[in-house]
Amino acid sequence: MIQAFTAAVVQAASLPTDSMGAAAKAAGLIAQASAKGAKIIVFPEAFLGGYPKGASFGTPVGMRKPQGREDFRAYHEAAIDLNGPEVAAIAEATAATGTFVVMGVIERDGATVYCTALFFDGEKGLISKHRKLMPTGAERLIWGFGDGSTMPVIDTPLGRIGAVICWENYMPMLRMAMYDQGITLYCAPTADDRDGWASTMRHVALEGRCFVLSACQHITRGAYPADYDCALGDDPATVLMRGGSMIVDPLGNVLAGPDYSGETILYAQIDPAEVIRGKYDFDVAGHYARPDVFQLSVDVAPKWPVVRIGGDI
Protein backbone atom coordinates (compact mmCIF):
# COMPACT_ATOMS: atom_id res chain seq x y z
CA MET A 1 0.00 0.00 0.00
CA ILE A 2 1.25 3.50 -0.87
CA GLN A 3 2.01 5.53 2.22
CA ALA A 4 0.47 8.96 2.79
CA PHE A 5 2.40 11.90 1.37
CA THR A 6 2.17 15.67 0.87
CA ALA A 7 0.88 17.27 -2.33
CA ALA A 8 1.25 20.92 -3.31
CA VAL A 9 -0.45 23.24 -5.79
CA VAL A 10 1.37 26.41 -6.76
CA GLN A 11 -0.63 29.62 -7.07
CA ALA A 12 1.79 32.12 -8.54
CA ALA A 13 2.19 34.58 -11.40
CA SER A 14 4.17 33.57 -14.43
CA LEU A 15 6.46 35.96 -16.30
CA PRO A 16 4.41 36.04 -19.49
CA THR A 17 7.12 37.40 -21.81
CA ASP A 18 10.12 35.74 -20.12
CA SER A 19 9.76 31.98 -20.17
CA MET A 20 13.29 31.36 -18.92
CA GLY A 21 12.65 33.72 -16.02
CA ALA A 22 9.39 31.89 -15.32
CA ALA A 23 11.26 28.58 -15.36
CA ALA A 24 13.75 29.94 -12.84
CA LYS A 25 10.86 31.11 -10.65
CA ALA A 26 9.24 27.68 -10.96
CA ALA A 27 12.49 25.98 -9.96
CA GLY A 28 12.58 28.10 -6.80
CA LEU A 29 8.97 27.23 -6.01
CA ILE A 30 9.69 23.53 -6.53
CA ALA A 31 12.55 23.76 -4.04
CA GLN A 32 10.30 25.64 -1.60
CA ALA A 33 7.47 23.09 -1.85
CA SER A 34 9.89 20.19 -1.59
CA ALA A 35 11.34 21.66 1.58
CA LYS A 36 7.83 21.48 3.04
CA GLY A 37 7.68 17.78 2.15
CA ALA A 38 5.73 17.91 -1.12
CA LYS A 39 6.18 14.87 -3.34
CA ILE A 40 3.92 16.05 -6.19
CA ILE A 41 3.69 19.71 -7.22
CA VAL A 42 1.14 21.08 -9.70
CA PHE A 43 1.58 24.42 -11.50
CA PRO A 44 -1.09 26.47 -13.32
CA GLU A 45 -2.05 26.50 -16.98
CA ALA A 46 0.47 28.30 -19.21
CA PHE A 47 2.94 29.02 -16.41
CA LEU A 48 5.71 28.91 -18.99
CA GLY A 49 4.80 30.91 -22.09
CA GLY A 50 2.04 32.92 -20.44
CA TYR A 51 -1.74 32.99 -20.49
CA PRO A 52 -2.78 36.03 -22.62
CA LYS A 53 -5.72 37.09 -20.44
CA GLY A 54 -7.74 39.86 -22.06
CA ALA A 55 -5.82 39.90 -25.37
CA SER A 56 -7.68 39.90 -28.69
CA PHE A 57 -4.78 39.29 -31.12
CA GLY A 58 -6.41 41.84 -33.41
CA THR A 59 -9.10 39.56 -34.78
CA PRO A 60 -12.60 40.96 -35.18
CA VAL A 61 -14.74 38.56 -37.21
CA GLY A 62 -13.55 38.63 -40.82
CA MET A 63 -10.44 40.69 -40.08
CA ARG A 64 -6.80 40.26 -39.00
CA LYS A 65 -5.17 43.48 -37.86
CA PRO A 66 -1.41 43.85 -38.46
CA GLN A 67 -0.82 44.43 -34.74
CA GLY A 68 -2.55 41.14 -33.97
CA ARG A 69 -0.14 39.33 -36.26
CA GLU A 70 2.76 40.92 -34.42
CA ASP A 71 1.17 40.01 -31.08
CA PHE A 72 1.02 36.39 -32.22
CA ARG A 73 4.65 36.50 -33.39
CA ALA A 74 5.72 37.70 -29.94
CA TYR A 75 3.56 35.06 -28.23
CA HIS A 76 5.07 32.36 -30.44
CA GLU A 77 8.54 33.60 -29.50
CA ALA A 78 7.71 33.36 -25.78
CA ALA A 79 6.51 29.75 -26.13
CA ILE A 80 8.90 26.94 -25.23
CA ASP A 81 10.49 24.08 -27.13
CA LEU A 82 10.42 20.74 -25.37
CA ASN A 83 14.17 20.38 -25.92
CA GLY A 84 14.81 23.94 -24.73
CA PRO A 85 16.48 25.42 -21.64
CA GLU A 86 13.20 26.00 -19.78
CA VAL A 87 12.38 22.30 -19.76
CA ALA A 88 15.97 21.52 -18.77
CA ALA A 89 15.66 23.90 -15.81
CA ILE A 90 12.49 22.23 -14.55
CA ALA A 91 13.99 18.77 -15.04
CA GLU A 92 17.03 19.86 -13.02
CA ALA A 93 14.79 21.15 -10.22
CA THR A 94 12.82 17.92 -10.05
CA ALA A 95 16.01 15.87 -10.09
CA ALA A 96 17.44 17.91 -7.21
CA THR A 97 14.29 17.47 -5.12
CA GLY A 98 13.03 14.05 -6.21
CA THR A 99 9.59 15.52 -6.82
CA PHE A 100 6.99 14.79 -9.47
CA VAL A 101 5.90 18.03 -11.20
CA VAL A 102 2.99 18.81 -13.50
CA MET A 103 3.63 22.07 -15.33
CA GLY A 104 1.32 24.07 -17.59
CA VAL A 105 3.20 25.49 -20.59
CA ILE A 106 2.72 26.99 -24.02
CA GLU A 107 4.51 24.53 -26.28
CA ARG A 108 5.94 25.63 -29.63
CA ASP A 109 5.90 23.04 -32.43
CA GLY A 110 6.83 24.59 -35.75
CA ALA A 111 4.63 27.62 -36.33
CA THR A 112 1.84 26.34 -34.05
CA VAL A 113 1.63 26.69 -30.28
CA TYR A 114 -0.23 24.34 -27.95
CA CYS A 115 -1.50 24.67 -24.40
CA THR A 116 0.22 21.69 -22.81
CA ALA A 117 0.74 20.05 -19.44
CA LEU A 118 4.18 18.51 -18.98
CA PHE A 119 4.97 15.65 -16.58
CA PHE A 120 8.37 15.62 -14.89
CA ASP A 121 9.70 12.70 -12.88
CA GLY A 122 12.52 13.48 -10.48
CA GLU A 123 14.59 10.53 -11.68
CA LYS A 124 13.72 10.60 -15.39
CA GLY A 125 13.07 14.24 -16.28
CA LEU A 126 10.32 15.05 -18.78
CA ILE A 127 8.40 11.81 -19.28
CA SER A 128 5.14 12.76 -20.99
CA LYS A 129 2.77 15.55 -22.00
CA HIS A 130 -0.89 16.31 -22.52
CA ARG A 131 -1.94 18.80 -25.18
CA LYS A 132 -5.25 20.54 -24.51
CA LEU A 133 -7.79 18.88 -26.77
CA MET A 134 -10.22 21.77 -27.09
CA PRO A 135 -9.06 25.37 -26.64
CA THR A 136 -11.94 27.47 -25.33
CA GLY A 137 -13.45 30.46 -27.13
CA ALA A 138 -10.82 32.88 -28.44
CA GLU A 139 -8.06 30.47 -27.37
CA ARG A 140 -8.81 28.69 -30.65
CA LEU A 141 -7.32 31.64 -32.54
CA ILE A 142 -3.88 31.09 -31.05
CA TRP A 143 -3.56 27.47 -29.90
CA GLY A 144 -3.55 24.24 -31.87
CA PHE A 145 -5.72 21.28 -30.87
CA GLY A 146 -4.30 18.20 -29.18
CA ASP A 147 -5.27 14.66 -30.20
CA GLY A 148 -5.95 11.41 -28.39
CA SER A 149 -2.29 10.40 -28.35
CA THR A 150 -1.45 12.74 -25.47
CA MET A 151 -3.94 11.75 -22.78
CA PRO A 152 -1.65 9.77 -20.49
CA VAL A 153 -2.27 8.52 -16.99
CA ILE A 154 1.15 7.69 -15.60
CA ASP A 155 1.82 4.95 -13.07
CA THR A 156 4.10 6.30 -10.34
CA PRO A 157 5.04 5.39 -6.74
CA LEU A 158 2.57 8.09 -5.64
CA GLY A 159 -0.34 6.77 -7.68
CA ARG A 160 -1.67 7.17 -11.20
CA ILE A 161 -1.20 10.75 -12.39
CA GLY A 162 -2.92 12.55 -15.26
CA ALA A 163 -3.83 16.10 -16.22
CA VAL A 164 -6.91 17.76 -17.66
CA ILE A 165 -6.56 21.45 -18.50
CA CYS A 166 -9.09 24.16 -17.59
CA TRP A 167 -12.43 23.77 -19.43
CA GLU A 168 -11.51 20.29 -20.66
CA ASN A 169 -12.80 19.42 -17.21
CA TYR A 170 -16.31 20.12 -18.51
CA MET A 171 -15.92 17.39 -21.18
CA PRO A 172 -17.63 14.29 -19.71
CA MET A 173 -16.07 11.90 -22.20
CA LEU A 174 -12.56 13.16 -21.54
CA ARG A 175 -13.11 12.74 -17.82
CA MET A 176 -14.36 9.20 -18.42
CA ALA A 177 -11.22 8.44 -20.45
CA MET A 178 -9.17 9.52 -17.43
CA TYR A 179 -11.23 7.49 -14.96
CA ASP A 180 -10.96 4.41 -17.18
CA GLN A 181 -7.17 4.62 -16.88
CA GLY A 182 -7.43 4.44 -13.11
CA ILE A 183 -6.38 8.00 -12.35
CA THR A 184 -5.87 8.67 -8.63
CA LEU A 185 -4.11 12.06 -8.75
CA TYR A 186 -6.17 14.17 -11.16
CA CYS A 187 -4.26 17.38 -11.91
CA ALA A 188 -6.21 20.38 -13.22
CA PRO A 189 -4.02 23.30 -14.30
CA THR A 190 -6.43 26.12 -15.10
CA ALA A 191 -7.00 29.79 -15.85
CA ASP A 192 -10.56 29.68 -14.47
CA ASP A 193 -10.74 31.76 -11.30
CA ARG A 194 -14.53 31.96 -11.00
CA ASP A 195 -16.42 30.99 -7.86
CA GLY A 196 -18.02 28.04 -9.67
CA TRP A 197 -14.68 26.36 -10.42
CA ALA A 198 -14.50 25.01 -6.88
CA SER A 199 -17.80 23.18 -7.42
CA THR A 200 -16.43 21.65 -10.63
CA MET A 201 -13.34 20.36 -8.87
CA ARG A 202 -15.42 18.84 -6.08
CA HIS A 203 -17.69 17.19 -8.66
CA VAL A 204 -14.70 15.70 -10.52
CA ALA A 205 -13.30 14.31 -7.27
CA LEU A 206 -16.64 12.73 -6.36
CA GLU A 207 -17.28 11.43 -9.87
CA GLY A 208 -13.83 9.90 -10.33
CA ARG A 209 -13.24 9.05 -6.65
CA CYS A 210 -9.79 10.58 -7.07
CA PHE A 211 -7.75 13.37 -5.52
CA VAL A 212 -8.02 16.59 -7.53
CA LEU A 213 -5.18 19.11 -7.53
CA SER A 214 -6.13 22.37 -9.24
CA ALA A 215 -3.67 25.26 -9.74
CA CYS A 216 -4.47 28.71 -11.10
CA GLN A 217 -2.26 31.79 -11.37
CA HIS A 218 -2.68 34.88 -9.24
CA ILE A 219 -1.44 37.55 -11.63
CA THR A 220 -1.92 41.28 -12.13
CA ARG A 221 -1.83 43.51 -15.20
CA GLY A 222 1.58 44.71 -14.04
CA ALA A 223 3.13 41.34 -14.94
CA TYR A 224 2.54 42.13 -18.64
CA PRO A 225 4.25 44.78 -20.77
CA ALA A 226 2.82 48.32 -20.73
CA ASP A 227 1.81 48.02 -24.40
CA TYR A 228 0.03 44.68 -23.89
CA ASP A 229 -3.37 44.66 -25.61
CA CYS A 230 -5.64 44.00 -22.62
CA ALA A 231 -9.42 44.40 -22.67
CA LEU A 232 -9.37 44.59 -18.86
CA GLY A 233 -7.45 47.86 -18.83
CA ASP A 234 -3.92 49.05 -18.15
CA ASP A 235 -3.86 49.68 -14.40
CA PRO A 236 -0.90 47.59 -13.17
CA ALA A 237 -2.82 46.72 -10.00
CA THR A 238 -5.73 45.12 -11.87
CA VAL A 239 -5.97 41.43 -10.99
CA LEU A 240 -6.31 39.45 -14.21
CA MET A 241 -6.47 36.04 -12.53
CA ARG A 242 -7.19 35.76 -8.80
CA GLY A 243 -6.23 32.14 -8.14
CA GLY A 244 -8.71 29.81 -6.49
CA SER A 245 -6.28 26.87 -6.36
CA MET A 246 -7.41 23.92 -4.28
CA ILE A 247 -6.98 20.26 -3.37
CA VAL A 248 -9.98 17.92 -2.98
CA ASP A 249 -10.22 14.35 -1.70
CA PRO A 250 -12.09 11.45 -3.36
CA LEU A 251 -15.28 12.13 -1.40
CA GLY A 252 -15.35 15.78 -2.42
CA ASN A 253 -13.96 17.16 0.82
CA VAL A 254 -11.81 20.27 0.31
CA LEU A 255 -8.38 19.71 1.85
CA ALA A 256 -6.89 23.07 0.87
CA GLY A 257 -8.25 26.26 -0.71
CA PRO A 258 -9.80 27.68 -2.69
CA ASP A 259 -7.43 30.58 -2.07
CA TYR A 260 -7.88 34.03 -3.64
CA SER A 261 -5.48 35.96 -1.44
CA GLY A 262 -2.42 36.18 -3.70
CA GLU A 263 0.63 34.13 -4.57
CA THR A 264 0.93 31.08 -2.35
CA ILE A 265 1.53 27.33 -2.25
CA LEU A 266 -1.24 25.14 -0.87
CA TYR A 267 -0.47 21.79 0.76
CA ALA A 268 -2.48 18.73 1.74
CA GLN A 269 -1.84 15.24 3.05
CA ILE A 270 -2.80 12.56 0.53
CA ASP A 271 -3.87 9.16 1.83
CA PRO A 272 -4.02 6.94 -1.29
CA ALA A 273 -6.23 4.44 0.53
CA GLU A 274 -9.05 6.98 0.33
CA VAL A 275 -9.40 6.23 -3.39
CA ILE A 276 -10.44 2.62 -2.81
CA ARG A 277 -12.57 3.58 0.17
CA GLY A 278 -14.38 6.04 -2.07
CA LYS A 279 -14.90 3.53 -4.88
CA TYR A 280 -16.60 1.09 -2.51
CA ASP A 281 -19.99 2.46 -3.54
CA PHE A 282 -19.18 4.31 -6.78
CA ASP A 283 -16.67 3.26 -9.44
CA VAL A 284 -17.69 5.06 -12.62
CA ALA A 285 -15.38 2.96 -14.82
CA GLY A 286 -16.09 -0.25 -12.92
CA HIS A 287 -19.17 -1.59 -11.14
CA TYR A 288 -21.18 1.62 -11.77
CA ALA A 289 -20.40 1.79 -15.51
CA ARG A 290 -23.28 -0.13 -17.17
CA PRO A 291 -21.37 -0.98 -20.39
CA ASP A 292 -24.44 -2.84 -21.62
CA VAL A 293 -26.05 0.59 -22.05
CA PHE A 294 -23.16 3.05 -22.45
CA GLN A 295 -19.77 2.66 -24.13
CA LEU A 296 -17.09 5.22 -24.97
CA SER A 297 -14.69 4.78 -27.86
CA VAL A 298 -11.39 6.68 -27.51
CA ASP A 299 -9.02 7.09 -30.47
CA VAL A 300 -5.52 7.37 -29.01
CA ALA A 301 -3.63 7.33 -32.32
CA PRO A 302 -1.58 10.42 -33.22
CA LYS A 303 -2.95 12.40 -36.14
CA TRP A 304 -0.62 13.82 -38.77
CA PRO A 305 -1.61 16.28 -41.53
CA VAL A 306 0.80 14.61 -43.97
CA VAL A 307 1.59 10.91 -44.15
CA ARG A 308 4.45 9.93 -46.48
CA ILE A 309 4.15 6.50 -48.11
CA GLY A 310 6.62 4.57 -50.18
CA GLY A 311 10.09 5.56 -49.02
CA ASP A 312 12.39 8.47 -48.38
CA ILE A 313 12.14 11.76 -50.23
Task: Mark whether 45 is an active-site residue.
Answer: yes
DSSP codes, the chain: -PPPEEEEEEE----TT-HHHHHHHHHHHHHHHHHTTEEEEE--TTTBT---TT--TT--TT---HHHHHHHHHHHHHSB-TTSHHHHHHHHHHHHHT-EEEEEEEEEETTEEEEEEEEEETTTEEEEEEE-SS--GGGGGTBPPP-GGG--EEEETTEEEEE--GGGGG-HHHHHHHHHTT-SEEEEEE---STTHHHHHHHHHHHHTSEEEEEE-EEEGGGS-TT---TT-S-TT-EEEE--EEEE-TTS-EEEEEE-SSSEEEEEEE-THHHHHHHTS--TTTTT--TTT-------S---S----SS--
Catalytic residue among 45, 86, 168, 274: 45
CA-based nearest residue to 267, from 211, 228, 222, 199? 211
Task: Indicate which residues carry an active-site annotation.
Answer: 45
